[in-house]
Amino acid sequence: NFSSVQGETSEALMKQLKLTEKADYFATGVSIVMHPNSPMVPIIHMNVRYFEMSNGIWWFGGGIDLTPHYVVEDDARWFHQQLKNVCDKTNTEYYPKFKTWADNYFFIPHRNETRGIGGIFFDYLKNDPNQKGTSKEELFDFTHSVGNTFAPTYTHLMQKNKDLPFGETEKKWQMLRRGRYGEFNLVWDRGTKFGLE
């Protein structure tokens, strides 16, 4: 899905952003969620987004996370290495920071369990004069690189797992895990809440 929305900040958004004056906003992003037919192929989610306001505030956000129905440790390590590679090209502090952010974000508190094996998650990336690599152009390039990592990473995992056999037991487990995914998105996901507001 691609979205591009604009308007005047609502009271809820002003409170969330700790603003004292109304301003116009523009938000755009790409969001991809793949729920494959085969329970042997993992669910993947990726989004990249940009937000700006007429008062000069702007930031980038996004991330990629993986939700396998059956966790394969080699696949999990490989997936995380791809994300580390893309982060390290911009800033070697990004991967550990954004991985922890994803681990904390993609957690289902009422179940006391993670949604999957995590990935990276970042938000409110903006210019910081004290940190290298934070100009608008550099942050756009990083966010763009995260988006471009999606297709080759997921294609590899699909090709590796698409022909593995499965039956009714695996399909039932897949439906249970998809239910947990739905719970997270309906109850905890900030993007869902932002869209509804």
Clarify whether 156 is annotated catalytic.
no
Report how far residue 24's alpha carbon sits from residue 53's, in angstroms, rounded to the nearest whole number.
6
- DSSP labels, 105-146: HSEETTTTEESSSEEEEEEEE---TTSTT-SHHHHHHHHHHH
Of 45, 80, 144, 156, catalytic: 45
- Identity of the residue numbered 177: R
For residues 158 and 102, the answer to whether their CB atoms sit within 8 Å is no
Q: How many CB atoms lie within 10 A of CB 81?
A: 11
Catalytic residue positions, numbered? 45
